[in-house]
């Protein structure tokens, strides 16, 4: 595996996240919920019988992926009593930042990149549905994403405890039974995205018992008032699933520093489960660093983080250590943020370096990276800002620059490491 976009002035900064000590954080961690929820799952569960489901959408042309994304987020917001919002799927479809051909061929990677760089979700309105917002003010900022495995027990628990789950399928009207509203998919490929909002173990189909209850985005006149049923035996269902499981309120004093505008799609490595990444940023104002974020492409990746004030490119020495975030286990691919125990105070113009160690057991390329992908993304690459090292314990001075000036073509990528800060003084 390997990865995807960026700014022309070296790094992007968006108004973003509030420190969790000052603001409530919503959502939760999947495995924490699973450990607490050991009771036998019910035979039938249906979010339609709760107040935790948003109304059926009528998707923009080719925008099923955007509609499914926003319906899932709206459902999670309701589940955690955050609010009853109508979010703009059209803004995500039009201003996701990827190759124009992907507007009608999107995925959960694209939605996650849009969220984690602070571009949305935006409240739906005539303006947000048609105009790009450079510094959007929104109902919330999504800090995390989890790409869930093909595991019916996990998916069911997530639906119960979080809400609607984004899931990719193959849909063809010729395979849709309009009487039973059951889809009988025949192909092993993906062309549509829906939300899984429940299940029924007892419903009978031509292929046996049990269906997923799915919310479509073709209006209320489709199927069962906008819903339909997917047999458990469907080849594609549960192959690609996502939720955006954590978020906090908008804060105009917050910034995010990053180079990977379009996030990750591929990974890089040294044929080893271990790799280190280092990124350099310069504070644009007096600020406090409150958390660090990164994409994760492999199951059970272990991430350890340190933040420094100085880095000597010639010797590889990192000095002026400012903080450590102990090793965290990331059970699923997706996007993760890690809170600092105490914020780091910086002055305008001060450099800081984020060191991240990735260990992905059983994988040979554990580092998420962003690079050019024809027909998908065309990033502006960094210069003198991103570095990698196979193992700094063995080779402390063996740092290789990545980006447009990389010595080797296979290192022409950006690292997917972000810093979240709160402005405390004047700046740009």
- Residue-wise pLDDT tens digits, 54-89: 999 999 999 999 999 999 999 999 999 999 999 999
- pLDDT number for residue 133: 66
Return d(Cα 131, Cα 374) in angstroms, integer.
26
Q: Which residue reads 């914020």 in tokens?
A: 343
Q: Quickly name the fold that domain 12-16+262-427 has.
A: Jelly Rolls (2.60.120)
CB atoms within 10 A of CB 295: 30
Q: Give the pair of three-digit tokens for residue 424.
A: 């405390």
- pLDDT number for residue 427: 64
Length in residues, the chain: 428
Please list the residue range(s) of the chain that carry CATH number 2.60.120. Answer: 12-16+262-427
- pLDDT number for residue 5: 26
Q: What is the largest CA-CA distance in the chain?
A: 71
- pLDDT number for residue 265: 84
The crossing angle, in degrees rounded to 10, of helices 108-116 and 64-79 is 60
Please list the residue range(s) of the chain that carry CATH number 3.90.70.10. Answer: 24-244
Say whether domain 24-244 belongs to CATH 3.90.70.10: yes
- pLDDT number for residue 6: 28
DSSP state of 74: H
| Cα 198 → chain centroid | 23
Bond before 121 cis per omega within 30 degrees: yes
Q: Give the pair of three-digit tokens for residue 164.
A: 């609607």
- pLDDT number for residue 258: 96
- pLDDT number for residue 7: 30
What are 8-58's pLDDT values in tens digits? 223 444 433 333 334 568 999 999 888 777 678 999 999 999 999 999 999
Q: What is the DSSP string of 195-255?
A: EEEEEEEEEEETTEEEEEEEE-SB-TTSTBTTEEEEETT-SSTTSSEEEEEEEE-EEEEEE
- pLDDT number for residue 128: 81
With the CA atoms of 275, 365, 9 and 127 taken in that order, what torsion angle do they form, in degrees rounded to the nearest 10? -130
Q: Give the pair of three-digit tokens for residue 241.
A: 């699933």
Which residues in the chain land under pLDDT 70? Answer: 1-24, 38, 133-137, 426-428
- pLDDT number for residue 200: 98
Decide if 360 contacts 257 (C-beta within 8 A). Answer: no
- pLDDT number for residue 186: 82
- pLDDT number for residue 137: 67
């Amino acid at each position: 595996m390997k990865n995807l976009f960026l700014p022309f002035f070296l790094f992007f900064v968006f108004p973003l996240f509030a420190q969790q000590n000052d603001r409530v954080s919503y959502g939760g961690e999947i495995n924490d919920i699973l450990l607490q929820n050991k009771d036998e799952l019910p035979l039938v569960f249906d979010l339609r019988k709760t107040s935790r489901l948003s109304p059926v959408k009528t998707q923009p042309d080719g925008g099923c992926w955007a509609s499914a994304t926003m319906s899932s987020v709206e459902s999670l917001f309701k589940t955690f009593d955050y609010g009853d919002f109508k979010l703009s799927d059209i803004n995500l479809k039009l201003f996701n930042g990827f190759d124009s051909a992907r507007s009608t061929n999107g995925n959960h990677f694209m939605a996650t990149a849009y969220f984690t760089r602070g571009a949305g979700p935006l409240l739906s309105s005539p303006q947000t549905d048609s105009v790009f917002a450079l510094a959007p003010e929104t109902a919330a900022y999504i800090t995390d994403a989890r790409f869930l495995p093909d595991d019916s027990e996990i998916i069911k628990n997530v639906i119960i405890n979080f809400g609607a789950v984004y899931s990719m399928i193959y849909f063809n009207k010729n395979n849709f039974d309009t009487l039973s509203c059951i889809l009988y998919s025949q192909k092993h490929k993906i062309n549509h995205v829906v939300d899984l909002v429940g299940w029924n173990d007892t419903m009978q189909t031509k292929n046996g018992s049990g269906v997923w209850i799915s919310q479509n985005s073709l209006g209320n006149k489709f199927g069962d008032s906008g819903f339909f049923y997917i047999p458990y035996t469907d080849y594609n269902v549960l192959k690609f699933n996502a939720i955006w499981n954590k978020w906090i309120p908008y804060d105009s004093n917050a910034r995010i520093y990053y180079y990977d505008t379009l996030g990750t799609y591929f990974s890089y490595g040294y044929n080893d489960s271990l790799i280190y990444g280092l990124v350099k940023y310069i504070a644009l104002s007096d600020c406090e660093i409150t958390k660090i974020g990164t994409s994760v492409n492999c199951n059970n990746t272990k991430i350890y983080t340190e933040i420094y004030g100085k880095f000597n490119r010639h010797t590889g020495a990192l000095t002026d250590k400012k903080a450590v975030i102990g090793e965290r286990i990331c059970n699923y691919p997706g996007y993760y943020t890690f809170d600092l125990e105490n914020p780091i105070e910086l002055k305008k113009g001060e450099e800081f370096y984020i060191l991240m160690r990735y260990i992905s057991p059983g994988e040979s390329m554990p580092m998420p990276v962003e690079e050019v992908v024809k027909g998908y993304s065309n990033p502006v690459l960094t210069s003198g800002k991103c570095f990698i090292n196979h193992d700094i314990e063995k080779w402390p001075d063996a740092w290789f620059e990545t980006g447009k000036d990389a010595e080797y073509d296979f290192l022409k990528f950006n690292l997917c490491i972000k810093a979240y800060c709160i402005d405390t003084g004047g700046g740009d």
